[in-house]
């Protein structure tokens, strides 16, 4: 027989745990208070049973002893975390014994305020179900007490007038004291619990921040350590291809080209990981300098045109005639944004063209548009496409290699430049990425003083 494993999802939250702790402590306060009141009332009712020889006093004393037993059972259940069972045992009997004591003291009218405090407490501890349950029982007992008092079926205990008045004042005062103790105890313990939770949250945030800093340091150190051997591998392969070390056969040249391509891909991957780490740590800095727009566009075109030509795609980079010749920005990051978007478009376009357009927008902004005739992206994936390490489901094919960091880094770079990035796409038609940046025009050539 195959044993099936059942998985249970824990939906509890820290606030749920705080609420459970509060209800448990509240129930324990109630149990302690009832225990004290039971012992306190045992003295006068014991005296009644001894000196008055009334059967009512004997009945109340028996009920008081049973109250201690019920109280002890509820305490054991509460300590085991079975709050509901403890409450459903304690509250009905508590309502019953309060009603009996009110009848014995000839103080039926004081039962109602005592019942109200018990119902409120039951609602806090047991929730809406417990509130409704205790309300129904309280109403039934109150109705029975009124009928008994009016018909005289159960006569009150033969007590002096001053004792009845004292019992009335005592029950009323104890109800008020009980509510005050209840409020003070729960408020104090809830504040203490919230303070502890806040301390733990601050400590957890400190540990997370420390872990994030250590991760950033590790990534930066590893990136540096990985770059050194990669540069050596790429340089050695390049020298071998140029036949610096001697003649190279066709198969050896293919292997060297593979080594060169793989080292460049690893270098790009390391750069992406380092960039995302700097962005998360808030250490990405932009160096604003005069950027020659047309030279930047030509660089991107010469870099990516071989990839497009290899796939049989038309690739164009156009700068509008009215676009300023120089803008004030970070040239390296601008090139990275444009390269990431154009390279991504080439990767996911099988036929047709990829077009890049750089143009001004009014007098305060300029934009870079990257259009392709690729497969397009589903509307449900438009938000996922810019998340770290995520690629849309429609892109999950054999050609969708990479880590999914390129567009995430692009979005962060655009945001750091106080710009916006938008994506529109249609399945089977293509996609358009639009990057809008603030326009800061400068006539200063790069490197001039």
pLDDT digits (tens, 9 = 90+) for 383-441: 777 775 555 444 444 344 555 677 888 888 888 888 999 888 888 888 999 999 998 88
Count Cβ atoms below 10 Å from residue 327 Cβ, excluding itself. Answer: 24
Torsional class of 422: left (φ above 0), alpha (ψ -120 to 50), beta (otherwise) = beta
- Mean local confidence (pLDDT), 233-243: 82
Nearest to 405 by CA among 384, 388, 393: 388
Asked if residue 288 has pLDDT above 50, the reply is yes
Instruction: Using a pLDDT cut of 70, give the percent of the chain over it.
Output: 72
Asked if residue 449 has pLDDT above 50, the reply is no
Write out the two tokens for 49: 């049973």
Q: Could you tell me the pLDDT band of residue 39, with boundaries at 50, 70 and 90?
A: confident
Write down the pLDDT at residue 389. Answer: 52
Per-residue pLDDT tens over the stretch 101-114: 777 766 677 778 77
- Mean local confidence (pLDDT), 184-199: 65
Kindly state the DSSP code that residue 156 receives in the 8-state scheme: P
Report strand pairing: 353-361 vs 314-319. parallel
Between CA 176 and CA 5 the distance in angstroms is: 53
Write down the pLDDT at residue 189. Answer: 58
Write down the pLDDT at residue 315. Answer: 92
CA distances from 98 to 105, 168, 174, 175 (A): 11, 12, 12, 11
Higher pLDDT, 81 or 154: 81
Least confident of 1-5, 20-24, 115-119, 160-164: 1-5
Q: Are 330 and 286 in contact (CB under 8 A)?
A: yes
Write down the pLDDT at residue 413. Answer: 87
Can you list the alpha helix ranges (DSSP code H) found in 6-159? Answer: 14-47, 55-79, 83-104, 111-151
Write down the pLDDT at residue 65. Answer: 82
Tokens 């770079």 locate to: 413
Give the contacts of 20 (CB within 8 A, at least 6 positions apart).
83
- Mean local confidence (pLDDT), 169-189: 61
Asked if residue 9 has pLDDT above 60, the reply is no
Nearest to 273 by CA among 411, 409, 421: 409
Cα 78–chain centre separation: 31
- Mean local confidence (pLDDT), 348-371: 91
Write down the pLDDT at residue 8. Answer: 47
Q: Are 421 and 434 in contact (CB under 8 A)?
A: yes
């Amino acid at each position: 027989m195959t044993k099936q494993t059942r998985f249970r999802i824990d939906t509890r939250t820290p606030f749920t745990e705080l609420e459970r702790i509060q209800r448990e402590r509240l129930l324990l306060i109630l149990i302690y208070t009832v225990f004290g009141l039971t012992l306190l009332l045992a003295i006068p009712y014991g005296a009644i049973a001894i000196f008055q020889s009334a059967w009512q006093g004997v009945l109340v004393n028996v009920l008081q002893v049973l109250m201690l037993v019920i109280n002890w059972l509820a305490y054991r259940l509460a300590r085991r975390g079975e709050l509901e069972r403890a409450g459903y045992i304690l509250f009905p009997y508590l309502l019953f014994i309060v009603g009996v004591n009110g009848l014995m003291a000839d103080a039926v009218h004081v039962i109602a305020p005592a019942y109200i405090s018990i119902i409120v407490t039951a609602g806090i501890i047991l929730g809406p179900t417990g509130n409704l349950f205790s309300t129904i029982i309280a109403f039934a007992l109150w109705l029975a007490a009124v009928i008994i008092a009016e018909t005289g079926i159960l006569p009150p205990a033969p007590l002096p007038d001053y004792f009845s008045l004292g019992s009335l004042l005592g029950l009323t005062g104890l109800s008020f004291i009980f509510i005050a103790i209840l409020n003070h105890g729960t408020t104090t313990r809830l504040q203490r619990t919230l303070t502890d939770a806040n301390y733990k949250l601050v400590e957890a945030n400190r540990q997370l921040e420390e872990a994030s800093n250590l991760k950033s340091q590790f990534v930066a150190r590893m990136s540096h350590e990985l770059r050194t051997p990669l540069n050596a591998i790429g340089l050695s392969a390049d020298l071998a291809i140029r036949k610096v070390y001697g003649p190279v056969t066709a198969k050896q040249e293919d292997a060297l080209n593979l080594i060169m391509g793989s080292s460049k891909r690893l270098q790009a991957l390391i750069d992406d990981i380092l960039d995302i780490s700097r962005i998360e740590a808030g250490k990405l800095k932009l160096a604003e300098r005069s950027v020659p727009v047309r030279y930047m566009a030509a660089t991107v075109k010469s870099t990516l045109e071989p990839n497009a030509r290899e796939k049989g795609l038309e690739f164009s980079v156009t700068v509008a005639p009215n676009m300023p010749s120089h803008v004030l920005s970070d040239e390296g990051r601008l090139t990275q944004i444009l390269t990431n978007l154009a390279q991504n478009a080439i990767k996911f376009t099988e036929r047709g063209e990829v077009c890049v357009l750089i143009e001004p927008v009014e007098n305060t902004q300029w934009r870079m548009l990257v259009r392709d005739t690729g497969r397009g992206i589903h509307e449900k994936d438009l938000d996922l496409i810019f998340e770290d390490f995520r690629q849309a489901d429609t892109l999950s094919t054999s050609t969708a290699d990479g880590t999914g960091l390129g567009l995430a880094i692009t979005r962060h770079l655009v945001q750091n430049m106080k710009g916006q990035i938008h994506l529109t796409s249609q399945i089977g038609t293509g996609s358009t990425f639009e990057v809008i940046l603030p326009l800061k025009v400068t006539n200063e050539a790069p490197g001039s003083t």
